[in-house]
Amino acid sequence: MRSGGDFLKGFLVGSLIGSIIALLYAPKSGKETREEISKKAEEFTQKAKEEYEAALEKSKQTYRAAIDRLKNLENVAQKKVEEVEGQIQELAEKSKETVIESKSRLKQAIDAGLDAYKEEKSGKKKKA
């Protein structure tokens, strides 16, 4: 985009200089030449203004497109974050349930072991 703009500026300036030189060498009176130079300068100014406005509008469109794209990416990212948060919470709940179940089974196994130990110990006392 930058090199295209530089080319355009160079082209317009070259055209203006070429027009002025052509007018100066044309076989016209000084008044006619000044009027012609003035007319060409106005044409150049108008053309430069149009080119500037076109470049400005294109820049605005590019900016708006970039902003829209960023907003869309932000929405997609937000949805992904919410999705991952939900999965993490679900995983945490499942892990919590698993720990509670494991703890309960371990406690039952320990209690059963203690009960078996107590029965074994009390059975030996009765035999003795």
Confidence class of residue 110 from pLDDT cuts 50, 70 and 90?
very high
pTM reported for the whole predicted model? 0.46
Q: Write down the pLDDT at residue 125.
A: 65
- pLDDT above 70 coverage of the chain, percent: 88
Confidence class of residue 73 from pLDDT cuts 50, 70 and 90?
very high
d(CA 96, CA 63): 49
d(CA 89, CA 93): 6
Token output for 43: 């044409």
Assign 1 to helix, strand or coil.
coil
Give exposure, 10-29, as e/b (b: 16+ Cβ within 10 Å): eeeeeebeebbeebeeeeee
Confidence class of residue 18 from pLDDT cuts 50, 70 and 90?
confident
Top pLDDT among 48 and 79 is at 79
